[in-house]
Amino acid sequence: MTISNSISIDKVISELKLVLDKKNNILTEYEERFCYAYDATAIGEKLYLPDVVVLPENTEQVAQIMKIANKYKIPVITRGAGTNLCGGCIPLKSGIVLHTSKLNKIISIDKDNLTCVAEAGVVVEKLQQEVEKLGLFYPPDPSNLKVSTIGGSVALSSSGPRCFKYGGTKDYVLGLEVVTAKGKIINIGGNTVKNVTGYNLSQLFVGSEGTLGIVTRVTLKLIPLPESKQVLLVFFDSIDDAATAVTDIISHKITPSTLDLMDQKTMDTVEQFHPTGLPTHYDAALVIEIDGIADTIFVQAKQIEEICYKNNAKDVRIAKDKKEADEIWFARRSAFGAVARMKPNVITEDAVVPRNKIPQMVKAIRKTADKYNLNVCTMGHAGDGNLHPNFSLDLRDHEEHERLEKAIEELFDAAIELGGTLSGEHGIGMSKAKFMNKVASNEVLEYMKLIKNSFDPDDILNPGKILIK
Ligand SMILES: Cc1cc2nc3c(=O)[nH]c(=O)nc-3n(C[C@H](O)[C@H](O)[C@H](O)COP(=O)(O)OP(=O)(O)OC[C@H]3O[C@@H](n4cnc5c(N)ncnc54)[C@H](O)[C@@H]3O)c2cc1C
C-alpha cells in the first residue's frame, strides 16, 4: 500500500500508532477507510480513498499527528460529522482523515460571562441542550444540528433558520485553539466579547474549511434563552406573495427568529415522506418563528398573521401547542431527507441573493430546472435571501449529470447577476472551487492564496478545497 507521494504508508502508520495508543483510534482496513471516502455530498462514481483514518482523543495527539503529516508532506482532511454538502471532507489526494468524534467534551459553561468552551467534535444540539439547562442560548442551528459538530460549523461558518435574527456561527466565535500544519498548538482570539487586538485571526479561520489549520477547541459567546416562542405556518398561492410578505413583516419592524420558505414541490415531497396534513396545492409556505418575552409573542403572531393575509396568504396556522410546533419544524427539517428518497442522489445548492430578489431567484431556479429537464424542490431561508434548490437525480446517468452541471453553473450566474454569491452557508469545498473566479478577481484570489500559503506552505491541509492551485 502506498500513499499519494510514494512514501510507504506502513511507516507512517507505525508512527501514528505510537501517538494513538488505542487500537480503534486508527483505522486502516479497506472497508473502514471506504466509509471515509464520502461525506453528505453526492460526488458521482470516482472513489477518493484515504490511506488511513485517525480518531485523536486530545489536542496533543492532533499536534503529534500533524507533525507526522508535515514530516512526510501527507494531506490531512479534518472531518466532523461529514454532513457538509460541498465535498469538504473528500480526501481528493488521499492521505490522513482526522475524525474529531472523540474530541467531544464540553469544557466549561460560564454563566456569568455568557461564554462556553467546547472541543471541536461536540455535537451542536448537545451543546445547545447543555447551555439551555442553565437558561442560556447558543442560537446557530444548522438543520442537521442533531449530528453536525461545532468544529464543522466553525470551519464552514454554518448558519441555519435562526440566522435571520441571531446571525450564524461566525457571530458567536470568540476564540479558537488550533493545530497548525506544522503541528504547533496556537490560541487565537480570546474569551471576551470585545477584542480588538491585532488581526482577527479567529474570524479568518471561520469558514476556512480545514484548509488553514485544525480547530480543536472553540470559545463561544452565549446569550440569554428567550422566554417564549411561537411558530406559524403560512400558505400562499404565489411565491412572489410569500416573498413580499417577508419584506413587509420586516418593514413593520418585526424580527422573527426564522423566516423559512418551502415551495410546492418540497411540501408535496415532505407530505409523501411523512404525512402531517401539509396541504400540497399551494405554491409556497413560510415557516415563521418568533421568540422573546412571553407577553409580546401573541401580539407579534397576530401582527404577522394580519400582514400575511394583507399579502394574499391563503391560510395562516399558528401552532396551538408544542406538538404542533414540533410537527411544523419536523416538516421543514426533514425536507432534505424527503427529497433524498426520490432518486439515488440529491444535490443541494446554496445560492444567496439580496432578500428582495428571492422571487427572481426562485423563477431562475424553476426556469433552469425546466430547461434541463431536472427535478428540483426549493426551500431556504427567505429572511436571509438564501435558497437551497435540491436536485434529485441519478448520478450514474451521465447524460443527466451533465445536464445538472450546466444547470448549476447557470443558477450561479443568475444569482451573481442578481447581486448574490456562490454560498450562503454550505461553503465552497471541492464542488464550487471552479466557480470562485466568477465572484473574486484575480487579485483577490492571489491574496487568498497568499493566506493559504502562509499557514500551509506545503498544501497538506485539505488540498483541492476552496482554491484551485
Ligand atoms: C440535511 C442537511 C441539512 C443541513 N442544514 C444546514 C443548515 O441549515 N445550515 C448550514 O449552514 N448548513 C447546513 N448543512 C450543511 C452542514 O451539515 C453544516 O454546515 C454542518 O455544520 C457541518 O458540520 P459537520 O460536523 O458535519 O462538518 P463536516 O462535514 O465534517 O466538515 C465540514 C468542513 O469543515 C472541515 N472541518 C470539520 N471539522 C473541522 C475542524 N475541527 N477543524 C478544521 N476543519 C474542520 C472539514 O474538513 C470540511 O471542510 C446541512 C447538511 C445536511 C446534510
Does 19 share its domain with 80?
yes
Residue 285 lies in a domain: yes
What spacing in Å lies between the alpha carbon of 119 and ligand 1's midpoint? 15
Domain with residue 55: its CATH number is 3.30.43.10
Residue 4 lies in a domain: no
Residue 398 lies in a domain: yes
Does 205 share its domain with 257?
no
What spacing in Å lies between the alpha carbon of 430 and ligand 1's midpoint? 14
Cα 177–chain centre separation:
21
Report the nearest atom of ligand 1 relative to the CA of 209: 49
Q: Which of 52, 69, 50, 55 is nearest to 20 (CA)?
A: 55
Do you know the residue count of the chain?
A: 469
Does 302 share its domain with 390?
no
Q: Which domain holds residue 303?
A: 228-334
Domains held by the chain: number: 4
Considering only CA atoms, which residue is closest to atom 38 of ligand 1? 152
Q: What is the pLDDT of residue 1?
A: 44
Q: What is the pLDDT of residue 2?
A: 44
Q: What is the pLDDT along the chain (469 residues), one digit of tens a residue?
A: 445 555 688 999 999 999 997 889 999 999 999 999 999 998 888 999 999 999 999 999 999 999 999 999 999 999 999 999 999 999 999 999 999 999 999 999 999 999 999 999 999 999 999 999 999 999 999 989 999 999 999 999 999 999 999 999 999 999 999 999 999 999 999 999 999 999 999 999 999 999 999 999 999 999 999 999 999 999 999 988 998 999 999 999 999 999 999 999 999 999 998 888 889 999 999 999 999 999 999 999 999 999 999 999 999 999 999 999 999 998 888 888 899 888 999 999 999 999 989 989 999 999 999 999 999 999 999 999 999 999 999 999 999 999 999 999 999 999 999 999 999 999 999 999 999 999 999 999 999 999 999 999 999 999 999 998 7
Residue after which a domain boundary falls, among 295, 314, 334:
334
Does 81 share its domain with 22?
yes
Domain with residue 330: its CATH number is 3.30.70.2190
Q: Which residues line ligand 1 (CB under 6 A)?
A: 39-40, 77-85, 88-89, 100, 120, 142-144, 148-149, 151-153, 155-156, 158-160, 209-210, 214-215, 336, 425-426, 429, 462
Q: Using alpha carbons, list the distances in angstroms from residue 449 to 69, 332, 444, 454.
A: 21, 38, 9, 9
Task: Classify each residue of 50-70 as buried b or exposed e, where b means 16 or more C-beta atoms within 10 Å of its C-beta.
Answer: bbbbbbbbebebbbbbbebbb
Does 242 share its domain with 209?
no
Q: What is the pLDDT of residue 6?
A: 55
Does 165 share its domain with 237?
no
Does 179 share its domain with 78?
no
Residue after which a domain boundary falls, among 334, 369, 384:
334
At residue 450, what are phi and psi to the nearest 5 degrees? -65, -40
Does 310 share its domain with 350?
no
Residue after which a domain boundary falls, among 224, 252, 270:
224
What spacing in Å lies between the alpha carbon of 153 and ligand 1's midpoint? 5
